[in-house]
Amino acid sequence: MKASDMKGLVLRALFSRWPRPRPLEEGYSILLPSPMDMPFLLRFALEGLAGVDTSHCRQILVVPDGWGDDRGAALRRVIREFNDPRIDLVELRALDYLIVRLMGKTGSAPHWLAIVNGTARARCEYIFLHDSDAFFVEPDALERQYRECRDRGLYTLGVTPRWDPFFEQMRYTIPGTWEMMYSTRWARGRTPLALKGRSWPTPCGEYVFDTLLYPQFLDHPSGKVGIMTPPPRLVHFNGTIVTYRVYTDRCGKPVVDELFRVLLLAILEDLLPAPNGVRAAPPVATLARGLDDPGAPVTYNSPRSDREYPTFRGLIEDLCEAPIFRGARADRIRELIRPFDDHFASRAAEAPVLVSGEPPGEPARMPRQHGLG
């Protein structure tokens, strides 16, 4: 038997059904998949939730991603800083840690497993999936999304469509899973395994779907898979966590931070340094050395970096307008990023149009697994 066949049998045996169903409360649960080794991201997430309207939220579930050695101790310390009885840490089983390690840190398995564990423990009719690299700008965004999803009786309601050539071929508009509201009953109506990102059969043959996309694909003809129009204003640095996992997986080998996701984590960590001094990302000042030193562990000298910096810088400016960053934090962010501003302004002045013919800041329209070159 092939290893892939054995893996499929094991997954089907472990994830063929949900726990015994329980009555669901009105309202929504918030699901926070959280990197165990970057507790500062949870701190920002909980601060963000405290600053927006969550009137119909009955439960906030913090789900560790399984990549850490402290069994969630750092996340618990963050939770204790917030006087909100709705916040609860989902305790992972030994089996969960084993699955995450066997399936690898750079794939979608940790995110899928967090969604499964959170969906299994959700008490409410709807679940809001909040990414740790997304930040609220509008104070009523969550409640507006919940009301629309509930009032329209939708299975899922996202904020932006997932771009995928297969979906375009099918003429399907399917929301990305980031900042998505979904029906708990809908998710539990399929097996936990059906939510996983993997190859699934379609009328056009086998296709690899990302997490939560396959059931949306199956239910798209129902008309109950939707996207908000207009969407709420938020800031999403997509791919940050998987980029960091790839970065750490390269064991110190030089990388090009083409989408500036390592820089983002460094900025956020500089704003909230750990009391024990342990860091996930290098300090921003250390990363800035990679602007001119080709021998630095993290560098930024690539045509893709030149194209992407204006987009990233625009997101940073949007981040500075988020309620939890306005004021002193925004001033500090702009101070930290100034060497990057100066560097890329100089490069843009030297070559305003790149040899490819693309204007600066226009990213290529192609899916990326991570943000490193």
Q: What confidence score (pLDDT) does residue 361 get?
A: 44
On whether both 305 and 222 belong to a single domain, the answer is no
Q: Which of 195, 7, 20, 176 is nearest to 112 (CA)?
A: 195
pTM given for the model: 0.91
Phi and psi angles of residue 80, each rounded to the nearest 5 degrees, phi first: -65, -20
Residue 360 lies in a domain: no
On whether both 21 and 138 belong to a single domain, the answer is yes
On whether both 227 and 243 belong to a single domain, the answer is no
On whether both 265 and 173 belong to a single domain, the answer is no
Q: What confidence score (pLDDT) does residue 160 get?
A: 93
Number of C-beta neighbours around residue 154 at 10 A: 22
Rounded CA-CA distance 16/100 in Å is 18
Burial of 184 (C-beta count, 10 Å sphere; 0-12/13-18/19+):
buried
Those residues whose C-beta lies under 8 Å from the C-beta of residue 165, and which sit 6 or more positions away, are: none
According to DSSP, residue 81 is labeled T
Q: What confidence score (pLDDT) does residue 21 get?
A: 81
On whether both 200 and 299 belong to a single domain, the answer is no
Q: What confidence score (pLDDT) does residue 159 get?
A: 96
**CATH number of the structural domain spanning residue 157:** 3.90.550
On whether both 310 and 337 belong to a single domain, the answer is yes
pLDDT by residue, tens only, the chain of 373 residues: 555 556 677 778 888 899 988 899 999 999 999 999 999 999 999 999 999 999 999 999 999 998 888 889 999 999 999 999 999 999 999 988 888 888 876 678 889 999 999 999 999 999 999 999 999 999 999 999 999 999 999 999 999 999 888 998 889 999 999 999 999 999 999 999 999 988 899 888 899 999 999 999 999 999 999 999 999 999 999 999 989 998 888 776 789 999 999 999 999 999 998 888 889 999 999 999 999 999 999 999 999 999 999 999 999 999 999 999 999 999 999 999 999 999 999 988 876 554 444 444 444 454 556 666 6
Q: What confidence score (pLDDT) does residue 2 get?
A: 58
Rounded CA-CA distance 365/363 in Å is 6
Residue 356 lies in a domain: no
CA dihedral 243, 212, 34, 337 (to 10 degrees): 40
Q: What confidence score (pLDDT) does residue 345 get?
A: 94
On whether both 243 and 156 belong to a single domain, the answer is no
Q: What confidence score (pLDDT) does residue 236 get?
A: 95
Residue 290 lies in a domain: yes
C-alpha dist (Å) from residue 359 to 140, 317, 363? 35, 20, 9
On whether both 230 and 278 belong to a single domain, the answer is no
Residue range(s) defining the domain that contains residue 259 = 239-350
Q: What confidence score (pLDDT) does residue 368 get?
A: 58
Burial of 327 (C-beta count, 10 Å sphere; 0-12/13-18/19+):
exposed
Q: How many domains does the chain fold into?
A: 2
Last residue within a domain, chosen from 213, 234, 255: 234
Residue 8 lies in a domain: yes
